[in-house]
Amino acid sequence: KHNRKPFVGGNFKMNGSRAMLKEIIDRLNTLELKNHVEVVISPPTLYIDQAHKSVREGISIAAQNAFNCTKGAYTGEISPEQLKDVGVDWVILGHSERREIFKEADDFVASKVAHALKCDLKVIACIGEKLEEREANKTEEVVIRQLQAIAKNIDDEKKWEIVVIAYEPVWAIGTGKVATPEQAQEVHVIIRKWLAENVSEKVAQETRIIYGGSVNDANSPELAKQLDIDGFLVGGASLTEKFIKIIECFI
């Protein structure tokens, strides 16, 4: 594998409570990470401050969303500047639940990526096809369309250093139906090749492409062995003790 540092994100979605977060973080804080793997947890916004104050060094916090403006009359939204202000380093953008339930289109996601990067907020940019798109042989078309929208908004090549791409096939998210290691690897190669041809060879080699979709402690070791899988974005299992085992694939 190229010397990309493995990355494991935990997306808690709209789950948890103060007590549950404490339990999860107490467990994570026992991990000996030794700089082998970057670990980022993404609690609901309300709990970001609690998480930020209680995680040990080496574990970062991601918001689950951010808007594309600095401030103003946008009830319910949070800006990248505000996230930076409270010490948040990362944001997840373009998650399929945002795209589907909240109707976030490619261009809107891309504008949020651009604004976050302008603020030096690091971005976990999510892309992935739906089941009917895979069955219609449109996986590559969809994934590249989503990636292209994001890439065209990243004008400074240096900004790619703070971008992680999460390939998350929608049919695998929260369904218990994980992509096979071969299926995931195949799409990761397509993404990396596109980056090489359309951004640069350097960005293609250095950008972490992580897999998300029903990752658990049983399927993570085989997925982690794939040459172009640089880590995971974990939903459901990140709330449980399985998350530790998943991270340990890279230690």
* Enzyme catalytic residues: 95, 168
Strands (E), the chain: 7-11, 38-42, 59-63, 90-93, 122-127, 163-167, 208-212, 231-234
Residue pointed to by tokens 């000996």: 32
- Measured from the CB atom, the residue of 203 and 223 that comes closer to ligand PEP is 223
Tokens of 53: 């104050």
CA atoms within 13 A on the CB side of 113: 32
Binding site for ligand PEP (CB under 6 A): 11, 13, 168, 173-174, 212-215, 233-237
Q: Which CB atom, from 203 or from 236, has the smaller least distance to ligand PEP?
A: 236
**CB of 242: closest distance to ligand PEP in angstroms?**
10
What end-to-end distance do the CA atoms of the chain give, in Å?
Answer: 15
Closer CB to ligand PEP, 133 or 168, in the complex: 168
For the CB of residue 177, give the shortest distance to ligand PEP in the complex, in Å: 9
Kindly state the DSSP code that residue 95 receives in the 8-state scheme. -
Helices 106-118/139-151 angle, 10° precision: 40
- Minimum Å distance from CB 27 to ligand PEP? 17
Minimum Å gap between C-beta 216 and ligand PEP is 8
How crowded is residue 29: how many other Cβ atoms within 10 Å of its Cβ?
13
Measured from the CB atom, is 160 or 167 closer to ligand PEP? 167
